[in-house]
Amino acid sequence: MTKPIVAIPADIRSFDGITWHAVQHQYLRAALNAAGVMAFIIPAFEEGYDTDAILDRVDGLLVSGSASNVHPSLYSVEATERDGPFDPARDATSLPLIRRAIDRAIPLLAICRGIQELNVALGGSLASEIQDQPGIWDHRRPEGVDRDGMYAIRQTVHVKGGSYIAGILGPGEVRVNSLHRQAIARTAPRLQVEATAEDGTVEAVSVIDAKAFAVGVQWHPEYWAETDKPSNKLFTAFGDAVRNHAAGKLATVPAQAIA
């Protein structure tokens, strides 16, 4: 069987006055080298998409991190300039794909902005500038460091025993590389909190009623997916779920169609 394919919704970026649909290399590399799957970049448009047409052609959905934030209007909060930057085309592309992938039991891994999109897509809300809240640490990336330093593994999260992620990483403490200034505020009714930082910030969730792998993490397992054991385990589990889904689709194809 050929390698299965996952969809990765793009960000909208502007370079030299030209609009690009882009995904960071680290997500594509992790999909290929750690999960063992191919990736299709899905262009971001605010309207005109046929979500099922996309999902018909892939075996999984990987929702990446981004410098942009989910627009607050999508969780009934008035937006301020401080909440930005925004990417409405990314919102309009990712949120329907997330909801439909869950409905169709297509494996889903949502990272950083992705976990926030997952929460909003299912009816939750987000908190902005969490470092300004009493008792909450500064989870933002450190200043004056190179990219490896930015994504350095330096934070402890507590994985709940008996949770879905505990079945992958084991329960208890795991060291991760979370860097963000927004986080889940009100957890969506369909989500279960699976891991938290020491200050209580939600760092991982799973979809309670999902019929396939459906996990979101606030940290960045993609960056060290080939060398860090917990990061690799998470991507391997996602890749296995994608392969199982692809095999299940193949098993339903009539024999004459395969021949």
Q: How far apart are CA 141 and CA 259, in angstroms?
A: 53
From 213, 12, 182, select the one nearest 94 (Cα to Cα).
Answer: 12
Residues designated as active site: 112, 220, 222
**Degrees (nearest 5) of the Cα angle 119, 33, 61?**
30
Maximum pairwise Cα distance, the chain = 64
Q: How far apart are CA 35 and CA 91, in angstroms?
A: 25
DSSP 165: T
Distances (CA, A) of 124 to 74, 128, 181, 188: 10, 14, 17, 4
Q: How far apart are CA 15 and CA 21, in angstroms?
A: 11
Q: How far apart are CA 199 and CA 147, in angstroms?
A: 25
Q: How far apart are CA 94 and CA 92, in angstroms?
A: 6
On the 0-12 / 13-18 / 19+ scale of CB atoms within 10 A, 74 is: middle
Q: Which residue in this structure is represented by tokens 């606030």?
A: 218
